[in-house]
Structures are given as C-alpha cells and as structure tokens.
Structure 1
Amino acid sequence: MAANGDSVIIDAAYLASSIRNMMPFDLHMTTKCCIFKIPNILYRQNERAFIPDAFSIGPLHHDDLKATEKIKLEYLQCLISRLATLTALNDLINCVKDVEREARECYAEPIKYSPEEFVKILVIDGCFLIEVFRKNVYKFLKGEDDPIFSMSSMIQFLYHDLILLENQVPWIVLERLFEFTKGPEEEYSLTELAVKFFGMTFSMEPPDLHPIQDIKHIVDLLRKWLISAAERKGSGEKEEEINQPYRILRMQGIKHILGLPMKWLISATESVKQEVSSTEWAQKWEPIPSASSLKEAGIKFKKCKSKSILDVEFSDGVLTIPSLLVQEITETTFRNLISFEQCYANCEARLTSYAILIDNLINTTKDVDILRERGIVNNWLNPEDAVQFFNQLYHHAYVTEFHYGTLCSKVNKHCRQLWPRWRALLVHNYFNSPWTIISTVAAIILLVLSVLQTWSSMKT
C-alpha cells in the first residue's frame, strides 16, 4: 500500500497473493470427518464436560496430560509380552501405518504432528484402549497392582475421558490393533468389549449386546448402541416395517465410541413410527407441559422396560418412559453425544430431541420427584442439580427434525380434554387415601338415602 497525498493506493495483486497463501490446499471437509473440536457456543455451557481429566486419547489433547503416559506404556508393554514375538511392536506400527492417511482424515482439525508422530500416538493410545476393554472383561489379565482397575478414581477418570468427542481415536485403528492382537481364548468382539465397559452409563440395567456396523469412534458406538436397542425391541412388528430402508441406513456410520450410545439410543426409538412428515415435526410441534402439570391433567407415567432411553411412547393417557440413570457422568455423556449430532454432517438429532423432551417434562424438583417415584429417573444427584442438568442440557443446540413431534401432539390433545383432568382432581382430592375414600363413600350413601327418603315422603 502506498500513500499519495490524500489518496491511498492498494496493491490488489499483493493482497490476492497473500490471501491465496492463507488458504490450505484443500478447504473441503470430507465425509470421513467425524472427530471435531467442540464449537465455542456449546463448549462454554460446561467446559469440564469436554476436557479430559487424566487421559488424553488421540492427537487433539496429546500435549496436555503427560502424567498418565507411563500407564499407557505399561499397558502396551503388557500387550506386547502376550504376543511373544520379537517383531510385535513393529507389527503393531505397521498395522496403523497402513491407515494413517485415512485416520488423519477423520479429524476436522488439521493434525500438527508428522506421520511418524501421529502413528506413534495412535499405536500407544489405541493399544491402551483395547487393553482397558479386555481387562474389564477378562479378569485374569489384571494384576493385583493394576494402575487403573486397582484404583476406583482412575476408572471414573476413564469413564469421563473416553466419551469426550475431542478425545477420540478412529475406530478403524482400534479394530486393526484388536484383530492383530486377539488371542484364541477371546470370545468377544471389540464392539462387545466396549459396550460392556460402558454398559451402565444410561441405566442400571445393561443393554443387550448385538452387532453394530460402520463404527467411527467410541462416541459414535454409544450412540448407535442406543439406537439399535430400540430396533431390537420392535423385532415383533410387521416385516415390511422392520425392513424399511431408512431404518437400515440409520444403523450405519458409527464414528467412535461416543457415537455408539448415540446410535443405540436412536435406533431404540425407531420402534415408534411417527405419523407426520419430518417437515411437520420441525414446524408444527409444540412443547408439552411439565410432569406435575401432566399429572394434574390426568396423564399417568409408567416406567418402560425398553433397553433404550429414547423409546418414549404415549397411549391411552399413559406416558411410557424408559428409566434414566442420572449420575456425575451423565451430563458429560449427553453433552458430547449432542455435540456430535450438531457437528457431524447429516446426523439426525435424536439425542437432542430426547433432551428437549425431558427438559419439557422437568421444570422443578417436584417434577423430578414424580418421575423418580415412578422409577423413570434414577437420580444420584441432589434434586436441584438434576433440574439444572435437564434444563441446560441442550442450550444452543438446534434440531431441524424433532423426533417426538407426534407424541407431543397426542399429549397436548389429551391435556385439552376436560374429563381426564376432572377425574384426576377427583382422585387426588377424594380418593387419595383409605380414609378419604371411606368418608366420600359414606357421604354418597347418606346423600342417596336422603334423596330416597325425600322422594318416599313426597310420594306418600
């Protein structure tokens, strides 16, 4: 830029060259991108829900937590000693080296490490993960002084750190390392081992194990795990409904372990067929009242036996909801699953829809108590924290298709009917205890006798 009196001369060619140099060679984000940095608008809701406490997994937080690297190396050494070959470590490196480029494409953020450093991170972290999953199931692999399973705090750190969207290793890396190191005595697949590790994340009752395809990472695994559970619940439905193409497609594309519970939850809700189009769900649905308001309107709550928390149904004035375990790790899990839905291309907002629905139901501690009494919410937090958790869970997350639109429409239609509300008030005010029932019945009998006596006197 040059100044000439009051005029300013801008060198367009220089600026064009400067801007061109700022651009990477490839600006296009491929469909393989499945591991993302959390957007600031979601991150600031609860920073701790997205930052690892003790273990960095993958390249995004590799420089942050060095104290636990020796634990990873100890697990790697254990694994190599079982392989009992001089070239075991070289073979593990070659397993990952073959998919280095594909693994790099899974990250939306540029990886600052060289191919050699990146492969080293994937080998150490990948072997650590599969050893954790193995030791959780095969107890004979654990020593008495195991640095993780002998300390309850370490297990809690792991539960938190392994379900963070930024703290993921591509599933293809884990799968290759697992298959290469799998012993003849091992009966479970990698997916089954991972599901067993996270089995009680959402409910006190662990879900069934079943095959899940095209997993991207642990987060994706959890998501698909939840979805597929509902698919199995609907196995008794008509064959033409079960085999609908969109149901099959929805089970594809797990990206990481966190994606497993997401898809598990999503597929679980597939058993409930919506009656309106996606556009109508998004544009016409209206929120439902809180649990206490629904109770006053005569709606009953019932605990569902479904293996997926997403399988919410409404029929004949009864809202059936699967049990949800609310504990310290629940918020972290949901926030990362929702973030994955918000970031991953063409991903259905099933967990986000669930969060919106539950937020509608819970406004106060009274609502939590109602659902807790029915066995729907198993709350390990204090009631105030539980209310805050549900009310802030999906802030700044958006849905274009709300998957409970038809259900909300049915609930609101039922609430507008007068008789269910009057019946609920009658039961609450006059039939809520044996003594009120006795006194009410006695009053009715006296009233009937008085009417009969009056009628008899008039007739005489």
Structure 2
Amino acid sequence: MEVSPIANDSAAIQPNDQWAIDIPSKHCCIYRVPTKLRKINEEAYTPQVVAIGPFHYKTDKNEKKEPAYPKEYEQMEKQKKRYLDFFCNRTGTKKEDITTFIRSRKEKIRHWYSEEFEMINDEEFVEMVKLDAIFIIELFWRSHKWTRNLSNDGYPNPEIPYHLSVNPCRKNITKEDLMLLENQLPYFILEGLYSDFVYKVLEERGYDVPTFLQLTCEFFFEDPKIPDAVKQRGKGIAHFTDLLRTYYCHEMPPIGELETMYNATALSEAGLKFNRSKHEKPYVQFHHPEILGRLPCLNCSAISACLPCFKCVPYLELMQPRLELSHFLVEIGTEVLYRNLMALEQCHYPFETRICNYIRILDNLIVSGKDVDLLVDRKVIANGLGGSEAASKLINTLCDQIVPCDQSDKDSGDGLSKKLNDYYENPWNRTMATMTNTYFSNFWRGTATIVGIIILLFAFWNFLRPFVM
C-alpha cells in the first residue's frame, strides 16, 4: 500500500475512536461528519447541487444497479458526463485511458476514506471517481482567467453551453459544495489527472500552463497566486477542506488553554479597546503592556478618546490595552465553511484545533446582540444576516458539541482567556474605564473636565493664598 502524503503529519489523528469508526486505513483523511455535529445542522454538511465522492453516492437495489441520486443532483450528474466529453474531445484523451489511470490507484483512493463502502464495487467506484474528478478539473479550468485568452484550438471557450463559471449564483453554490468535508476526492488524484492529461499536453505545445494548485486557489480564493501557507504545505494537502483550513489558520498565533471568559461588552466597559487586525484570516491578539498592570494611570485611552487627532501617535497606541481581531463576515455561507473546517479538526486534527479555538473565542466574546453591535461598530464583524441577534445565535451555535484542544498552545504561558479575565477583574482597570467614559468620552466632555479641574485648582489656590502669603 502506498503511503499517504499526510501520514507523517504530527497533528493528524489515527482515527480509532468514537468520531470515526469502521476505518480500513490509518491514513484516511476524508470523514463522515460525526452524528453529534450533524444533528445540529445537517444542511451545513450536505451538498446542495453536486455530490462528490462515495459518501453521497447511492446505488439502487434493482437489477440495473444504476446510481440513484436525489433530484437536486440529477442535473449535475448529466453535467458531469458533458464535462467528461468536453475534456476528452479537447485533450484528445480516451475515456479508457482515464479509467486505467484511476483503476491503478483505486486502492489508495479508497484508503483516503474513513469507510470501506463495500456496497460500491470497484468498477462503480472507478467510474464515480472519473466523473467527479474530471468535472472538478473542467470546472476549475473554465473558471481560470488564463484559459479565456486562449485561441480556440481545442481548449476552453467561455461561451460553451452549460459553462457553470459564467453563472455567479451556480458557481457560488458549487464552490460551497466543494468545501464540504464529506464531499471530497483525494487531492492527489485530481492533481495527477490534471498533470498527465492537461499540463503535460499544453507544455508540449509551448504554453505557460498554470498548475492545478493555481487553478484551485483562483477558484476558492479568487487569486491565482498560491498563498504562502498552502505553498509550504505542498504535497501534504489532502483535499479541498484541508487546503482551506491550511489557508485560514496559517496566521493565527497561539492562544493558550481556553476557559470561560467575559463578553465583549463587559471587557469594553473595563476599558479594553477592540480593533480590526490587518490580518484577513482568523487572528486574535491581546496587547497589554506589563507596566499598565502596575501603573494603570499610564493608560492613554482617555487622551485617545477626547483627542482623536493623537490616535496615530505610537506611544498613545502602545499604552492602550486592546484586543485585535481579524475581520469576520457573518453570512449564510459562514456557517457552512466553519462547520466543515471545525468538523475536519475534530476528526483529523484533534490536538491542533486552531479554527475551533478561534470560534470559541468569538463565542465567548458574543453572548447577545449588544456584543455584535459593539464589534460591528469597531469593524471587527460585518453582519450580513441583518439582525444582531441572528448573528449572535449563529456564532453561539458553531461551537455546539465541539471540543477545542491545541497541544501546541500548552507551553505558551497563560492563555488568552485568562489574560482577558485578569484584565477585567483588576479593579483599577474598571475604575480608569469609568473615569474615561464619564469625564473623557469625547472632545467636548474632556475639555469641560479639564476646564473644571483648572477652575477648581484656582479656587482652591485663592482659598489658600491668604494663609500662605
């Protein structure tokens, strides 16, 4: 048996527990979502229009043994056959050659899955992989900007009927389906087919051909440039869900052990500022100079609040306790993406749950619509659901039945949640925050406070002057 490219990944679980049962190979990386997670929102793990791989492949019990898909998949099954014909005509490839290529790797492909699928015989399995793989390659190829500039010498023309990539709605739904953990093919078979039947053919014709990884990145991230995190992972990418996790958790710093912490409103009332980070991927970082723990009076939040023109002064920014969070878009697709990334971590990376930990932090910060409004005002969250309560409910349910555990964070000192709790529970921080909100919340109130203090000092001096002169 060939060794999986992710077999040596120290974070990968050897699936022998209650989360993944009946597993033929310790190298599997495509899982059926655990029942406890699926029950929370089954639709988030189920493809809408296109079924990929064996988890959603059905076989009739009749004599014909024809694959039986729900009605919502039937149209796309016809599309897969059209794409296979287009692919073979343009590349000059025989369908038998593709079948032979896949058949020689079918055992390795089967070992990628957490179940044996005994009801699907080898020929059905190979045919299923062939249709699904060529469909994905053809879709990615047609979606790539580079292909639209080719002359019509046998390669894609964006005006071909049934071209999914010209319909933004259908493309978006298909993209969402290809993110699902249960709806995956091993990445190596897609890359292998593309390399042998597309890349080599075009290279021989003198074209500067994009790699399959470039096609994939443009399809999912709308950028042909391969992200550094994905480039570093290289051959270790298992499938599209794994690629997305690699991309999203790359910049996230360790956050230590997690515990229950105070919500965003409470922390804000204690003087903590929430800032949008420059990082666009999941990121959270607490900035609190040690000297403020001993001398809270050095906190410059009051000056920054009443004199916003000085916000750009480095010293003032440095001396303000703040929590930096990456921009988080809350919309319908958010739930699908993060539920599947978290399900992958629970099954395959149980000791490196970076995405789960990030969502857990958001879950603790947001307990009501008031917290959402605060973070929206600070441009940390963009609420695409309309009501703040709807956004709060979505974030709060993402962590249901999730067990966050990141062993790589255990030696990073006090966890982020403990630092934030200690900050809130320090009475000086709340006192300074109360004074700032009461007397220095804006320019006019700050000016009035300073003028009042000056008048009070003059009055006190006038009272004392007869006694000291």
TM (norm. structure 1) is: 0.77
Q: Judging changes above 3 Å, is the alpha-carbon distance between structure 1 residues 171 and 251 closer, same or farther for their aligned structure 2 residues?
A: closer
Q: Judging changes above 3 Å, is the alpha-carbon distance between structure 1 residues 442 and 289 closer, same or farther for their aligned structure 2 residues?
A: same
SS at match of 1:301: strand
Q: Judging changes above 3 Å, is the alpha-carbon distance between structure 1 residues 456 and 427 closer, same or farther for their aligned structure 2 residues?
A: same
State how 1:57-206 maps to structure 2 within 5 Å.
57-63=52-58, 64=69, 65-83=73-91, 85=92, 87-111=93-117, 112-138=119-145, 140=148, 141=156, 142-143=158-159, 145-180=161-196, 181-182=198-199, 183-184=202-203, 185=207, 187-199=209-221
Select which of 245, 263, 275 maps to 1:290. Answer: 263
**Partner residue in 1 for 2:398:** 393
- Whichever residue aligns with residue 75 of structure 1, its letter is Y
- Whichever residue aligns with residue 95 of structure 1, its letter is F
| CA distance, structure 2, for counterparts of residue 349 and residue 391 of structure 1 | 17
SS at match of 1:320: strand
Shift of 1:420: 2.8
Q: Judging changes above 3 Å, is the alpha-carbon distance between structure 1 residues 334 and 165 closer, same or farther for their aligned structure 2 residues?
A: same
Kindly report the root-mean-square deviation, in angstroms, between the aligned alpha carbons of the 2 structures: 2.6
Shift of 1:418: 2.9
**Partner residue in 2 for 1:444:** 453
Shift of 1:28: 5.4
Listed one character per residue, the Cα deviations across residues 52-111 of structure 1 (whole Å, up to 9, x for unaligned) are 11101112213332221121222222222221x2x4322222221121110011111222
SS at match of 1:35: coil
Shift of 1:312: 3.6
- Whichever residue aligns with residue 215 of structure 2, its letter is L
| CA distance, structure 1, for counterparts of residue 235 and residue 84 of structure 2 | 31
| CA distance, structure 2, for counterparts of residue 145 and residue 82 of structure 1 | 15
Shift of 1:128: 1.0
- Whichever residue aligns with residue 301 of structure 1, its letter is F
| CA distance, structure 2, for counterparts of residue 207 and residue 362 of structure 1 | 35
CA contact (8 A) 2:270 2:424 kept: yes
**Partner residue in 2 for 1:414:** 423
| CA distance, structure 2, for counterparts of residue 136 and residue 399 of structure 1 | 36
**Partner residue in 1 for 2:300:** none
CA contact (8 A) 1:314 1:407 kept: no
Shift of 1:134: 1.8
| CA distance, structure 2, for counterparts of residue 424 and residue 44 of structure 1 | 43
SS at match of 2:415: helix
| Structure 1 residue ranges without an equivalent (≥5) | 1-25, 201-205, 213-224, 229-247, 275-280
Comparing 353-362 with 72-81, greater Cα deviation is found at: 72-81
Q: Judging changes above 3 Å, is the alpha-carbon distance between structure 1 residues 419 and 255 closer, same or farther for their aligned structure 2 residues?
A: same
Shift of 1:179: 0.5
Listed one character per residue, the Cα deviations across residues 282-327 of structure 1 (whole Å, up to 9, x for unaligned) are 5xx4222111111111111222222431454444322111212222
CA contact (8 A) 2:383 2:391 kept: yes
1:381 equivalenced with 2:357 (yes/no): no
- Whichever residue aligns with residue 267 of structure 1, its letter is H
CA contact (8 A) 1:251 1:263 kept: no
- Whichever residue aligns with residue 341 of structure 1, its letter is E
Q: Judging changes above 3 Å, is the alpha-carbon distance between structure 1 residues 354 and 88 closer, same or farther for their aligned structure 2 residues?
A: same
| CA distance, structure 2, for counterparts of residue 153 and residue 349 of structure 1 | 32
SS at match of 2:329: strand
| CA distance, structure 2, for counterparts of residue 37 and residue 136 of structure 1 | 29
- Whichever residue aligns with residue 126 of structure 2, its letter is V
1:259 equivalenced with 2:242 (yes/no): yes
- Whichever residue aligns with residue 304 of structure 1, its letter is S
Q: Percent identity?
A: 27
- Whichever residue aligns with residue 121 of structure 1, its letter is M
| CA distance, structure 2, for counterparts of residue 379 and residue 287 of structure 1 | 24
| Structure 2 residue ranges without an equivalent (≥5) | 1-20, 59-68, 149-155, 290-320
Greater relative contact order structure (CA < 8 Å, 6+ sep): 2
Listed one character per residue, the Cα deviations across residues 226-260 of structure 1 (whole Å, up to 9, x for unaligned) are xx8xxxxxxxxxxxxxxxxxxx8x88843210111
| CA distance, structure 1, for counterparts of residue 52 and residue 143 of structure 2 | 18
Comparing 316-325 with 171-180, greater Cα deviation is found at: 316-325
Listed one character per residue, the Cα deviations across residues 114-169 of structure 1 (whole Å, up to 9, x for unaligned) are 11111111111111112222222235232264441233321222122111111111
CA contact (8 A) 2:140 2:215 kept: yes
| CA distance, structure 2, for counterparts of residue 207 and residue 347 of structure 1 | 32
SS at match of 1:298: coil
- Whichever residue aligns with residue 136 of structure 1, its letter is S
- Whichever residue aligns with residue 260 of structure 1, its letter is L
Q: Judging changes above 3 Å, is the alpha-carbon distance between structure 1 residues 428 and 188 closer, same or farther for their aligned structure 2 residues?
A: farther
SS at match of 1:414: helix
Select which of 29, 33, 42 maps to 1:38. Answer: 33
| CA distance, structure 1, for counterparts of residue 52 and residue 248 of structure 2 | 24
Q: Judging changes above 3 Å, is the alpha-carbon distance between structure 1 residues 211 and 444 closer, same or farther for their aligned structure 2 residues?
A: closer
**Partner residue in 2 for 1:11:** none
Listed one character per residue, the Cα deviations across residues 329-348 of structure 1 (whole Å, up to 9, x for unaligned) are 11001111111111226552
Comparing 170-179 with 408-417, greater Cα deviation is found at: 408-417
CA contact (8 A) 1:298 1:421 kept: yes
Q: Judging changes above 3 Å, is the alpha-carbon distance between structure 1 residues 291 and 188 closer, same or farther for their aligned structure 2 residues?
A: farther
Shift of 1:188: 2.7
| CA distance, structure 2, for counterparts of residue 61 and residue 186 of structure 1 | 37
| CA distance, structure 2, for counterparts of residue 97 and residue 175 of structure 1 | 16
What is the number of equivalent residue pairs in this alignment?
A: 384
- Whichever residue aligns with residue 191 of structure 1, its letter is L
